[in-house]
Structure 1
Amino acid sequence: MTERRKLRSASWFGGAGKNAFMHRSWMKNQGLPDHLFDGRPVIGICNTWSELTPCNAHLRGIAEHVKRGVYEAGGMPVEFPVMSLGESNLRPTAMLFRNLASMDVEESIRGNPIDGVILLVGCDKTTPALLMGAASCNLPTIAVSGGPMLNGNFRGQTIGSGTHVWKFYEDVKAGRMPLNDFLAAEQGQSRSAGSCMTMGTASTMASMVEALGIGMPDNAAIPAVDARRGVLAHLAGRRIVELVNDNIIMSDILTRAAFENAIRVNGAIGGSTNAVLHLIAVARRIGVDLGLDDWDRLGRDVPTIVDLMPSGRFLMEDFYYAGGLSAVMRTLAEAGLLHRDAQTIFGKTIGEIVKDAPNYNPEVIRPFDKPLTEQGGMAILRGNLAPNGAVIKPSAATPALMQHKGRAVVFESIEHYHARIDDPALDIDANSVMVLKNCGPRGYPGMAEVGNMPLPAKLLKQGVSDMVRISDARMSGTAYGTVVLHTAPEAASGGTLALVRDGDLIELDVAGRRLELFVDEAELAERRKAWTPPEQPQGGGYQSLYVERVLQADQGCDFDFLVGRRDAGVPRHSH
């Protein structure tokens, strides 16, 4: 831990000079009394509340709970907005703006009189964006997630957000579900405030916050509308003041041991493939060199023991009642798969927090020796089709397809896919390998969640429920299937994926960690000579910056100029 130092905010509010007079006077127009400027810590509440981000629309209420805790502990809370990223509404994809939001967060923290920060997060990209921005500043920080929605319910059936959209839509295409029934399920899927209640990216990242030790115990799973979510926020408000007083900063918590714990927890919960990108980006901001090989090495022998959709049967509400993430981490710790001495913002080590954690429902949180999937960690594939790596989530895939060889059916873009997939004349069968190009970081741009391409209607009607799918895109954490993602380098950057043609033979071997295109090097060289990069959309502005400076998927899709820490001192003033 670092030594206690002078509060940053004192450079704004301390003393009797002209500058302090002006800073205090302007703040006092909000009705703030003198004693709030007596040298107490100023706590920034970084809020991603927005009515355009449905998962985060309740965060104004959560902020009030945080403020109570801050005041109670002798701090001064100041709430400020930053760009909110909602995957459900924001086009072309929230991932395009993750790095922009992180810049907003970093500069808002750096330029203002803030001694410690509470990050209010929810929808999936808000969590990594705020962690990335805060990590670059490296102040005392706690992340507070908004929590998942209550379980979905449709005509007596438990349904999961996102997961059942894919299932029901395929049922409509196959003629098994009337369109009116499909539309009637909308309100039943989303029946309370909160983020997706499946183990999608939002719930995964809330779990990563807890596993990393940068959030409070139970952060992962308390439902958004459960009163205990407000209690957690209140206690986080108290705790952040103590962190500032003790000068415990983010780099004290986000160590290599913390990231290794998070990777193993991700495998145990059947977490989203998106966590791979996000944790790599957060780690490299704080100064930990995390890569794809770490994901494969650490996650390979971790079983998935949480039986949640999309990999399993239950939902986040059930997970909380069963014991939540602490129960999972206790199981991993007892199996020797956690760094028990990793520090947390709670003032205890991970081992101390989880050592007596109960499991109230062994169906939801299974014993280590009776897992949902034997190997639940992310599998990192390499080969001539993915020289820099590709990702597959074994717990969401079909076992029979984990070793598969088939001929490629190629879609040059997502528009080409939509135009072609339901053409009755499309030459495709259950053994084919669907290949989607130009949907990576630069190619889309923003690397949209289109990698879990819905199957052609004619095969769905034949009873086909899964096929091997390969792309440089991402997949929603709520989705499932034998889907290879994040292929690097991407097609738009000239990766081998760009050279695949209809009829080429491709082999997927998850156990062998291989992804091979059976085309000889001479033929690939000829194809490369004929290849031209796809024309980029003339978006201008931020989109042009993104395409020019974004790193590839294996490096976390951060901007090259944002990697690393820029610890927040006191900026120069102009008065």
Structure 2
Amino acid sequence: MDEQELRSRAWFGRKGKDGFIYRAWMKNQGIPDYEFQGKPVIGICNTWSELTPCNAHFRELAESVKRGILEAGGFPVEFPVMSLGETLMKPTAMLYRNLASMDVEESIRANPLDGVVLLCGCDKTTPSLVMGACSVNIPTIVVSGGPMLTGNHRGRQIGTSDVWRYHDDVRSGKIMEEELLTIEAAMCRSQGHCAVMGTASSMACMVESLGLSLPGNAAIPAADSRRKVLAQLSGLRIVRMVKEDLKLSDILTRQAFENAIMTNAAIGGSTNFVIHLLAIAGRIGVPLELKDFDPLSKNIPLIANLQPSGQYFMEDLFYAGGLPVVLKALDGILHRDAITVNGKTIGDNYSNAVGYNSNVITTVDAPFNTATGLAILGGNLCEQGAVIKPSAASAHLMQHTGKAVVFENIEDFKARIDTDELEVDENSVLVLKNVGPKGYPGMPEVGNMGIPKKLLEKGITDMVRISDGRMSGTGFGTVVLHVSPEAAAGGNFALIQTGDLITLDVPNRTLNVAISTEEFAERKRQYTPPEPVTNRGYVKLYIDHVQQAHMGADMDFLVGGSGSKVLRDSH
């Protein structure tokens, strides 16, 4: 790209009053005049926040990015956007993913930026930043924050997936509440996001397999100095991307999305991957539907032996060679000619990858688990689809019929799940309604409902659970999620009653309830949808405009993009 073609020249290259204002006020930060003389201006979009513990080290990471930008002759400018802390935000960080994406989109478009580095790590910060950047479509590179070091408690390695196990141990009386204090200190012992293949790690793998980050980005631990090196190299590369005019639309092709889907299946990635990838595809304009995921996933076994589907942690994945080794194991399946941010194909990037631990990263021919990491279901209980993670489920429940035990909302579930009066056994199917995008609102991670206390005491550790919500990528079990249309949208799911016979058949990809068309019609006539939780502000906007899960749960008016042109020119 020629110097005069730089987008930032419309600000800093101007003559007269306008140029005076743009440059003069920037100079109050001690910036010399030559910085404005035709250098690519690179924004560092930072989701640092002390309320987002996963991203709390991003101030330091941003300095490494700046060094790379300066080294390449660019002009770095760091700016904040809304940060989404998965562990702290109520009612759920997912409610604000679309809001954060709007913040990112408008911050990039409104300012004199030629390229942008996205600093993201915690679950929703990655998709929200990528979604917002896609709607502007300027040269962009992603730097993930990295996973935390593996936890260790009394000689045993632990990670976020163990939260669910310890929770059940407390409920069943195996351990005391006080012991959790020592466990939580031993689990989160360094900066970074979850140490397992949860949603944050899945998002880091997603951006690398899409080609939006430098090779190796996904697995380097946050505390490892090599994370800073990658950040500096990313700063160096974004300046060159601007000069090459290598934009998101050049990288995010249909082939790139298919590569990400196949990679997610091989690593046992989070089911949240589905809803975020669909939203990203909608922003960049690549046709992608829920039904596309299953044929791309179903024949790919699990080759990354990582919790929650397996045994090891993200730190182990890094030592074993990182995501490039996984991608190399998929050679012959992936679209190896897909271009990436470093200007090379993804095949070039993984061609020299070497695996160092076959217990952590196996092969397609001799996989860790023959079950795939994702399956898409259809049937009269989920007219527009639902998802399940077979690799983290119980084999004996993959084909199961049982009577529904229905909870109308999360409050109903909490009030009754551990009562002696609850009529439930290990063959029952737990059904949780009204936790979808509109119904909660925001589609919280409550789909992996806790096993009833009376069954835990009998030694039952898994049962079929179905909801229109999500579950944490760190979660596990035979859990059907993202039922669409959700209950609050008036789908068949809203009409399920306790005692209905539900059949889950994962091999045949079906989820059905034994209700006739006539009975459904009668129940629908009697159905009254729940009242929305609020009639004001962003939450009302979200409820009124959020799309269903099978479309990515983006806002209908945000799908697509407006490009990088500023609508009006002031001053």
Rounded to whole Å, the distance in 2 between the matches of 1:477 and 1:540 is: 31
More displaced 10-residue stretch of structure 1: 15-24 or 87-96 = 15-24
Q: What is residue 121 of structure 1 aligned with on the other side?
A: 120
What's 1:188 paired with?
186
Among 190, 211, 221, the alignment partner of 1:213 is 211
Q: Report the alpha carbon displacement of residue 183 of structure 1 after superposing the two structures with TM.
A: 2.6
Counterpart check, 1:360 vs 2:356:
yes
Q: 1:370 Cα deviation (Å)?
A: 2.2
TM superposition shift of 1:4: 9.1
Question: How big is the shift at 1:539?
Answer: 5.2
- Taking the aligned partners of 1:4 and 1:276, their CA distance within structure 2 comes to 40
Contact 2:69-2:75 within 8 A present in 1 as well: yes
**Separation in 2, partners of 1:95, 1:510:** 27
User: Could you say which residue in structure 2 is the equivalent of 1:108?
Assistant: 107
Give me the whole-angstrom Cα distance separating, in 2, the residues matched to 1:252 and 1:3.
19
**Helix, strand or coil at the partner of 2:201:** helix
1:11–1:570 CA contact under 8 A, matched in 2: no
Match for residue 45 of structure 1?
44
User: What CA deviation, in whole Å up to 9, does each residue of 1:161-184 have, x standing for no partner?
Assistant: 2x1110011011122222222232
Sequence identity (%): 60
1:450 and 2:449 matched: no
Residue by residue, what CA displacement relative to the aligned partner does 1:85-138 show, whole Å, maximum 9, x if unpaired? 011000000000000000000000000000000000010100000000000000
1:503 pairs with 2:499: yes
Aligned position for 2:6: 7
Give the letter aligned to residue 428 of structure 2. S
CA distance in 2, matches of 1:16, 1:508: 68
List aligned pairs for 1:61-460, cutoff 5 A.
61-161=60-160, 163-333=161-331, 336-460=332-456
CA contact (8 A) 1:295 1:377 kept: no
AA partner of residue 485 (structure 1): L
Report the CA distance between 1:525 and its aligned residue. 1.2
- Say which of 541, 545, 549 aligns to 2:545: 549
Cα drift, residue 259 of structure 1:
0.4
Work out the CA distance in 2 between the residues paired with 1:534 and 1:373: 42
Does the 8 Å CA contact 2:3/2:39 hold for their aligned counterparts?
A: no
Letter aligned with residue 290 of structure 1: L
Q: Which amino acid aligns with 1:533?
A: P
Residue 494 of structure 1: CA displacement?
0.5
Q: Distance between the aligned counterparts of 1:224 and 1:524, measured in 2?
A: 51
Q: Secondary structure at the match of 1:501?
A: coil
Q: How many residues align?
A: 571
State the AA in 1 paired with 2:484: A
Q: Distance between the aligned counterparts of 2:3 and 2:542, measured in 1?
A: 39
**In structure 2, what is the Cα distance between the partners aligned to 1:387 and 1:528?**
15
The superposition leaves residues 266-286 of structure 1 with CA deviations (integer Å, 9 ceiling, x where unpaired) of 001100000000000001100
- CA–CA distance in 1 between the matches of 2:40 and 2:347? 30
Q: Using the alignment, how far apart are the partners of 1:406 and 1:15 within structure 2?
A: 70
Aligned equivalent of 2:33:
34
CA distance in 2, matches of 1:313, 1:179: 25
Give the TM-score normalised by the residue count of structure 2.
0.99
**Contact kept in structure 1, 2:470 and 2:482, CA below 8 Å:** yes
The AA in structure 1 aligned to 2:180 is F
What is the deviation of 1:48?
A: 0.3
SS in 1 for 2:186: helix
**Cα displacement string for residues 288-329 of structure 1 (whole angstroms, at most 9, x for unaligned residues):** 011111111101101110000111110000000000100000
Deviation for aligned residue 1:571: 4.4
Report the Cα distance in structure 2 between the residues aligned to 1:443 and 1:500, rounded to whole angstroms.
Answer: 16
- 2:267–2:373 Cα contact (<8 Å) kept: no
Counterpart CA distance in 2 for 1:260 and 1:385 is 27
> 2: distance between equivalents of 1:24 and 1:275?
42
Q: Deviations over 1:7-59 (max 9, x none)?
A: 11001001432111110000000000111001110000000000000000000
Q: Which structure 2 segments of 5+ residues have no match?
A: none
CA distance in structure 2 between the aligned counterparts of 1:40 and 1:510, rounded to whole angstroms? 55
Equivalent AA in structure 1 for residue 382 of structure 2: A
- Matched residue of 1:179: which SS? coil
Q: Any runs of at least 4 consecutive aligned residues in structure 1 with deviations exceeding 3 A, and if so which?
A: 2-5
- Structure 1 partner of 2:531: 535
| Aligned residues of 2:373 and 2:392 also touching (Cα < 8 A) | no
Asked if the contact 1:169–1:182 (Cα under 8 Å) also holds between the matched residues in 2, the reply is no
1:231-286 deviations in whole A, cap 9, x for unaligned? 00000000000000111100000110000000000001100000000000001100
